[in-house]
Amino acid sequence: MSARRFEGQAVIVTGAGQGIGRGVALALAREGARLVLADRSAIVEEVAAEVRELGATGVVARGDLETWEGATELNDIAIAAFGRVDVLINNVGGTIWVQPYEEYKPEQIEAEIRRSLFPTLWCCRAVLPHMVKRKQGVIVNVSSVATRGIYRIPYSAAKGGVNALTASLAMEHAQDGIRINAVATGGTEAPPRKVPRNAQPLNEQEQRWYQGIVDQTKASSLMQRYGTIAEQVNAILFLASDESSYITGSVLPVGGGDQG
């Protein structure tokens, strides 16, 4: 296996400011990628600095990928910087509220879908014309095994949409030399978020619901544990690389045996 699988490739990583996205960005930098680091938070500038310390190129694109305008601007930044997009890794998403479905307000349901489905929809739509024209490209969508889980049903539905999008786009664009896959992440140990998805601290009831998610996640994993960021990153980079050249339209569960 080459240690420089992405030498010279232009790669977009969304949600690059922290967690799995940051881990993906740093791993790609070590393997020679030229990166566009997308996030709506200023913390992505810190990741860009880390990328440059590794000797790689890191261009920052700050914007709201829940909108079509944000996604098209991201694609434009990548084309302006590198002239092409070889790989798109869609990593934006994450549940905002933790509660039984009947507790969700209509506006919360809509916000969850916007957060965890629309950035992937919009970014795929933005980069595909360029990839089709070049007759090559790779897209890796970050999904979740929480398509079967409790207390975050809108998030589960959004990630189910990501899985369907992945399968259907792969069927549509295999003829164009484009591979599209997804990694369904399981529970993942990560440092505390620098920018929380929900600025409101959990009350006692919400803490019990959150603990219910943790318990269910570990119980659903055959390994009875959370994974590491590195374990998720390894799977994402595999699907983004030529090592998976005969794989498309697949959703790879990385949840210790939990198939989602």
* Ranges of each domain in the chain: 10-253
Distance CA 217, CA 148 (A): 10
Is the pLDDT assigned to residue 126 strictly greater than 60? yes
Burial of 176-212, coded b for 16+ CB within 10 Å and e otherwise, reads eebbbbbbbbbbbebeeeeeeeeeeeeeeebeebeee
Looking at residues 165-188, what average pLDDT do you find? 98
pLDDT tens-digit series, residues 25-84: 999 999 999 999 999 999 999 999 999 999 999 999 999 999 999 999 999 999 999 999
Tell me, what's the pLDDT at 197? 78
Q: How far apart are the first and last CA of the chain?
A: 29
State the Cα–Cα distance between residues 153 and 104, nearest whole angstrom. 9
The correct CATH number of 10-253 out of 3.40.50.720, 3.30.390.30, 3.50.50.60, 3.90.180.10 is 3.40.50.720
53, with CB counted inside 10 A (0-12, 13-18, 19+), is exposed
Choose, from 155, 210, 226, 246, the residue flagged as catalytic.
155
Q: For residue range 58-73, what is the model confidence (pLDDT) as tens digits?
A: 999 999 999 999 999 9
pLDDT in tens, 181-235: 999 999 999 888 777 777 788 999 999 999 999 999 999 999 999 999 999 999 9
155 tagged catalytic: yes
Q: What is the pLDDT of residue 47?
A: 98
pLDDT at 2: 53
Phi, psi of 141 (to 5 degrees): -100, 135
Mean pLDDT for 159-181 is 98
CA pair distance 109, 42, nearest whole angstrom: 27
- What is the model's pTM? 0.95
